[in-house]
Structure 1
Amino acid sequence: MIDRDKQLREAAYKEVEKYKATVEEDHFRLGYHLMPPVGLLNDPNGFIQFNGVYHLFYQWNPFSTGHGAKFWGHYTSEDLVHWDHHEIALAPSDWFDKNGCYSGSAIEHEGKMYLFYTGNVKDENNQRESYQVLVESRDGYTFEKKGVVVELPEDYTAHFRDPKVWKHGEYYYMVVGAQSKELTGKVALLRSSDLYDWKHLGAIAGAHMGSLEDFGYMWECPDLFELDGEDVFIFSPQGIEADGILYNNIYQAGYFIGKMDYENVRYNHGEFIEMDRGFEFYAPQTTLDDKGRRILFGWLGIPEEREEDHPTIEHKWIHAMTLPRELRVRDGKLLQLPVDELKKLRHDEVSYPDVILNETEQAFVGIEGERLEFELKLEEQPTGPITIDIRNHASIIYSAENKSFTLTRISFVDGKTIEERHCQLEELRNLRVFLDSSTIEIFINDGEEVFTARIYPDVEEKSITFKSGQAASVQLRGWMLY
């Protein structure tokens, strides 16, 4: 009998070895972000701290830079900074996942790690089936599939995926991203007392529920958790039309803040807010660590949005993870900040405590290059626009007059078009910018707004310049990053 699991794993490892040199010669490979060793990376999966170690699994197609039958790749870290890559955790080798081990989550129970994922199956007519599958691990490194624990409830189409599991009171709960038979986005809630037997309780939120008239045709990657006295629901809706400066990517990622009513199986929530205002951010997932922090990773990419045009494709890889971010809730808004451990990456600090920006572009020694972090703090609100040009490729612009913040970049599709993303911003107090070889992540006003994007500057371009339409007093600090 052919060992299908072993066969798939060996084929994947051959791909890694075959293209290792091709991948590594790409100058757009990142320094301190997580990437696939070859092929395509997408959603973060099974993010958990287990026995003191952070485990981050990810959707991985080792055979192509397109979306195919997904494996679960596996990274671990003790500090969220230095990561080790491990053997494949899950391969699409069974009848219930033969077309992909799709996204899911992890939970610890009685000293063991339990993974839940969606098994994707397509028949000869390309009709989809979906199954929620349970996996056990005693050590966090070897995994045993226990089989299907949830079949498709009758209320939904086969677009029923991405289980996230947690414990509340005496029960375990699972949310699953779903599509109703009316082709609207929903989130389903299930309950179990033992992680094996699950009861479908119904949809807790979605289009045509509460104040939502129409909100997309599919909700992916749901994540529901308590934080700072609120119940936060993160998800990735598909099918939202652009609305001015909102929803400008093909798919969105965002959140509600509300209250989960477990007794009446209902999530009562406020308005939808985008989590990231940049070009590439999707499918975020969180975990609670032993310091009591709610930590998030997102996929630094978006499905289907010009993926074939990324310049890394010619080097046989695509996409990455965001930096790990700590979440807080303040004044009804979700804040995101880089975890403190990332300060370990810093070296060669420079400080410019008394800078007057004006209409002349200024560069500062030590705030330049491919891999760095810099902070800008304002003494008072500027009267003219502040502009930061990044490697002659991207720009950060704040207009106090228009109360707007903008990120621009040169399109990687044609190398010419200037693309923009925006948000409204009443004031600019501070910002932190992380640059890697081909990424930028901007954290504004202690995480009130975030912009994330891939950027592909010329390798020779290292300069970063600052200017202001009117004189503005600022403080600048910067660090090279390992």
Structure 2
Amino acid sequence: MKRDPWRLAYHLMPPDGWLNDPNGLCEANGVYHVYFQYAPNTPAPDGRMARTWGHYAGPDLINLSFKGVPFWPETLDRDGCYSGSALVEDDGTIDLYYTGNIKEAGDYDYIHDGRLSNTILVKTADGGRTYSDKHLLFGTPDYPKDCTRHVRDPKVWREDDQYYMVLGARMNDDSGAVLFYESLDGVSWRLLKIEKTGEPFGYMWECPDYFEMDGQPVLAFCPQGLEAEDFCFQNNHQSGYSLLSGDLRGKQMFGPFREWDMGFDFYAPQSFVDDRGRRIMIGWAGLPDKPYGNPTAQRGWENCLTVPRVLIKKGNRILQKPISGLKRLRKNPSRPDGEGRLTLPDASGDIEIAFADPASSWDIQMGEGVCLHYNGCIVRLALDEKTGCGRDERLARLDGVRNARLLVDRSILEIYLNDGETVFTTRYYADFETDRRLEMKFNCAGADIYAWEMQPMPANKIYDEEEN
């Protein structure tokens, strides 16, 4: 196998082909499951690509192994097994709810006609070794009449002995919304309500997620069609959350929309609660319809997932913190030399920084093509044309930076500022063809900086072994 210097050490990626949205995240009977949108052997999506799901599982979120494809497109989902979620029943059975996509051949706009979206249930009672037949719960003729054909991405949970589901929707007036359904058995469903903002906020809301933190309802969703501003909505599609007020079964009011991630590559996150009570979120480190490239497609694979992030509510914000288990992959601790220089021999590391003065300016250079800069009020992540493959800069306002954590992994970078209050995720493609070493330079006067190299997690170690 030809050496691929951009294969990752500790981020989940497809064995081959295309990966996008995380799906069906859960822990059942002590086993963690990470499903994801998958198109085997097809690294670039097109109209002929029928996506299915892939499946990782393991005793924790570090020691995962690839379990293959759980099911393939059939009659109910012939043009793709699209995104969905998992619900773990009391007996350990995993219920997988997802959207089955059907696109009719013909002269259609595929917004108001030509498309069917089926909400489908599949069950596994043995941890993903075998799966039940697909069960059609409801479909396009059953959705509210003021919806377009774009209704998808069911997220299901149970509360007070009742099942609930949210679906993302595009309404006929080109406004985004979420549909709330309720059920007594998880099979027969009725529409509970439609929630949307007072003024239109994008034309489509994808990948909704509803949960509570410290008694506060939260709606996470991905609005499409927002107008870009200098310090927000800088991508072509966004992903974030609103804190809600009001009861689940009544009308709820939306608080300010806050973006999960200010970087180039983050979309379609999904969260779940594990047996330890942690609410964990994983996102797709990618973006639909993105205006920049990923050269790994030329090597037969494209995209990856973010590391799992624990969500912590603080006031009216939700902080994101990489799961503690990542620290088990650390090795060979080091610090920058007297000139602020540091080398990651395998371009894979975990770096923690405590700044002496939160208001001071600083910059961090990663290789020749990536720079992170702070001038006292604005953080700027900048990539040059070659390294960014079309990615240029992303900005965020911050009133001081107390600390930072940089997760560097060969062709992805995750930056957590102020304990995860602000996060940047980006793919980047340094020239590692002859030497996978990343030279870093820290111009951070008085900062306390610790760095560790990172070992590959088991799911990815096979690729390093094949290179040698």
TM score, norm. by length of structure 2: 0.90
Question: Identity rate of aligned residues, in percent?
Answer: 37
**Structure 1 residue aligned with 2:460:** none
Alignment partner for residue 133 of structure 2, among 120, 145, 149? 145
Which residue does 1:97 correspond to in 2? 77
How far, CA to CA, are the matches of 1:146 and 1:462 in structure 2? Answer: 47
- Range with bigger deviation, 251-260 or 321-330: 251-260
Structure with greater contact order relative to length (CA < 8 Å, sep ≥ 6): 2
Q: Relative to 1, partners in 2 of residues 1:368 and 1:245: Cα closer, same or farther, differing over 3 Å?
A: farther
**Which residue number corresponds to residue 73 of structure 1?**
54
How far apart, in 1, do the equivalents of 2:237 and 2:420 lie? 22
Could you tell me which residue of structure 2 aligns to residue 48 of structure 1?
26
Number of the residue aligned with 2:177 = 186
Q: How does 1:119-268 map to 2 (within 5 A)?
A: 119-125=100-106, 127-141=114-128, 142-152=130-140, 153=143, 154-204=145-195, 206=196, 209-210=197-198, 213-264=199-250, 266-268=251-253
The one of 413, 425, 428 aligned to 2:401: 428
The one-letter amino acid paired with 1:407 is L
Q: In structure 1, what is the Cα distance between the partners aligned to 2:191 and 2:381?
A: 43
Measured in 2, the distance between the counterparts of 1:267 and 1:199 equals 19
Distance 1:375 1:120, change over 3 A: same
The question of 1:330 aligning with 2:314 is answered yes
What letter matches 1:297 in structure 2? Answer: I
Q: Conserved in 1, the CA contact under 8 Å of 2:369 and 2:386?
A: no
Equivalent residue number for residue 396 of structure 1: 372
Deviations, residues 72-126 of structure 1 (Å, cap 9, x unaligned): 1000121211210012112112x21000000000001132110000000011225
Shift of 1:160: 0.3
Match of 1:315 in 2: 299
Do structure 1's residue 440 and structure 2's residue 420 form an aligned pair? no
* Equivalent position SS for 1:103: strand
C-alpha deviation, 1:411, in angstroms: 3.2
Gap regions ≥5 residues in structure 1: 1-20
- Indicate the larger mover: 295-304 or 25-34: 25-34
Letter in 1 for 2:350: E
Match of 2:465 in 1: none
Contact 1:102 1:117 in 2 (8 A): yes
- CA gap of 1:233–1:397, structure 2 versus 1, over 3 A, is same
SS at match of 1:44: strand
Partner of 2:381: 407
Q: Distance in 1 between matches of 2:344 and 2:104?
A: 55
Mapped contact 1:443–1:450 kept (Cα < 8 A): yes
Shift of 1:363: 0.6
Q: 1:336 to 1:418 in 2, by over 3 A?
A: closer
Q: Which whole-Å deviations, capped at 9, do the CAs of 1:340-391 have from their partners, x for residues lacking one?
A: 0111110111257xx98xxxx6214x656500011110222354x2010001
1:261, 1:268 within 8 Å by CA — same for their partners in 2? Answer: no
Structure 1 residue 246: deviation in Å?
Answer: 1.1
- Mapped partners of 2:11, 2:387: distance in 1: 23
Whether the aligned pair in 2 keeps the contact of 1:133 and 1:145 (CA below 8 Å) is no
- Whether 2:323 is the aligned partner of 1:339: answer yes
Q: Is the 8 A contact 2:388 2:428 kept in 1?
A: no
SS in 2 for 1:314: helix
Q: How does 1:14-53 map to 2 (within 5 A)?
A: 21=1, 25-53=3-31
Q: Find the residue that maps to 2:438 and give its secondary structure.
A: coil
Counterpart contact for 1:215–1:237, Cα < 8 Å: yes
Aligned residue pairs: how many? Answer: 438
Which runs of at least 4 in structure 1 moved beyond 6 Å after TM superposition? none
User: Equivalent residue of 2:200, what SS?
Assistant: coil
RMSD: 1.8
Q: What does residue 355 of structure 2 align with?
A: 378
